[in-house]
């Protein structure tokens, strides 16, 4: 997939990136197949209709339970509230028991995390997924120790796209918004970054319905090797284990100029 750089705001010496924050579903992990499978297993078991994963994709950006609520809403016949609650609990139990550990990291994620940690960057997770399943997912993939802080659903007064979760994470990382990059795959992530005053990097391999949903961003990328190279290529001679910076006088790129 081609990498395109958009809306670049060149940093001055006070804008070094000192932290990289990641969304989880559709950004670090390809979780849609395992989640949709768990939802459909529960629904079919009680005589309801299976729902295509593509129809649940957008709801996953809001969290695990909103994904299941979307599957319920797409049933041919209405489901009463008590049954919804019971089925939702069964869905979560089935997913945590059978599906959670099967979700793969996107290619290149592990290497990118190592590269960023080697440069002394602080790493964090900001997700609308609950803390318990987030911790289990990170642990199952062997990357839990890569992160200095995690903010999940319920840790802040409001979920993404509100700014509170990302700002809380930055407070825990002790990094200013101007010194952070948020990597996500949805309109919720892009809006959260914008409201927080944090630069946004858009993962095109995630669950956004269209690329326009991921604006504004400083770059969009299809493979994690591209994200890593982009960061390294913009550090110039001032790159150090404690500071990742952009070049102070780069050549501007057009909206559709390919980054090689």
Locate the domains of the chain by residue range.
19-30+104-238, 32-102
Q: Is the pLDDT assigned to residue 155 strictly greater than 90?
A: yes
Predicted confidence at residue 230, as pLDDT, reads 82
- Which is catalytic among the residues 15, 23, 80, 185? 23
The model's pTM is: 0.82
Give Cβ neighbours of residue 206 (< 8 Å, ≥ 6 apart): 23, 25, 26, 27, 184, 185, 186
Q: Which pLDDT belongs to residue 62?
A: 87
Q: Is the pLDDT of residue 229 over 60?
A: yes
Q: How confident is the model over 99-120, as pLDDT tens digits?
A: 898 999 999 999 999 999 998 8
Structure-token pair, residue 127: 């997700």
By CB neighbour count within 10 A (0-12 exposed, 13-18 middle, 19+ buried), where does 144 fall?
middle
Q: Catalytic residue at 185?
A: no
**CATH class of segment(s) 19-30+104-238:** alpha beta
For range 106-135, the mean pLDDT? 95
Q: What is the pLDDT of residue 206?
A: 95
Average pLDDT on 83-91 reads: 94
Tell me the pLDDT of the chain averaged across its residues: 85
pLDDT of 170-186, one tens digit each? 999 999 999 999 999 99
Average pLDDT of the residues in 200-220: 95
Q: Tell me if 112 sits within 8 A of 224, measured CB to CB.
A: yes
Q: Is pLDDT at 132 greater than 60 in this prediction?
A: yes
- What is the Cα–Cα distance from 3 to 227, expressed in whole angstroms? 9
**Per-residue pLDDT for 61 more than 90?**
no
Tokens for 4, please give them: 């395109």
């Amino acid at each position: 997939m081609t990498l395109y750089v958009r809306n670049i705001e060149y940093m001055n010496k006070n804008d070094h990136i000192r932290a990289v924050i990641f969304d989880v579903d559709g950004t670090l992990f390809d979780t849609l197949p395992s989640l949709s499978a768990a939802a459909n297993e529960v629904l079919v078991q009680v005589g309801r209709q299976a729902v295509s994963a593509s129809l649940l994709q957008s709801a996953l950006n809001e969290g695990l339970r909103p994904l299941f609520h979307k599957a319920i809403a797409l049933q041919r016949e209405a489901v009463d509230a008590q049954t919804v609650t019971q089925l939702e609990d069964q869905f979560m139990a089935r997913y945590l028991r059978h599906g959670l550990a099967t979700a793969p990291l996107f290619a290149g994620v592990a290497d990118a995390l190592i590269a960023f940690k080697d440069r002394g960057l602080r790493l964090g997770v900001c997700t609308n997924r609950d803390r318990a399943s987030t911790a289990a997912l990170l642990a199952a993939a062997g990357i839990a120790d890569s992160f200095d802080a995690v903010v999940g659903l319920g840790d802040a007064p409001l979920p993404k796209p509100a700014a509170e979760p990302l700002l809380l994470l930055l407070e825990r990382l002790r990094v200013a918004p101007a010194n952070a990059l948020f990597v996500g795959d949805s309109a919720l992530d892009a809006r959260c970054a914008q409201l927080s005053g944090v630069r946004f990097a858009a993962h095109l391999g995630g669950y956004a319905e269209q690329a326009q949903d991921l604006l504004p961003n400083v770059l969009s990328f299809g493979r994690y090797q591209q994200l890593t190279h982009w960061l390294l290529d913009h550090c110039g001679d001032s790159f150090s284990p404690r500071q990742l910076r952009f070049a102070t006088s780069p050549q501007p790129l057009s909206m559709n100029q390919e980054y090689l």
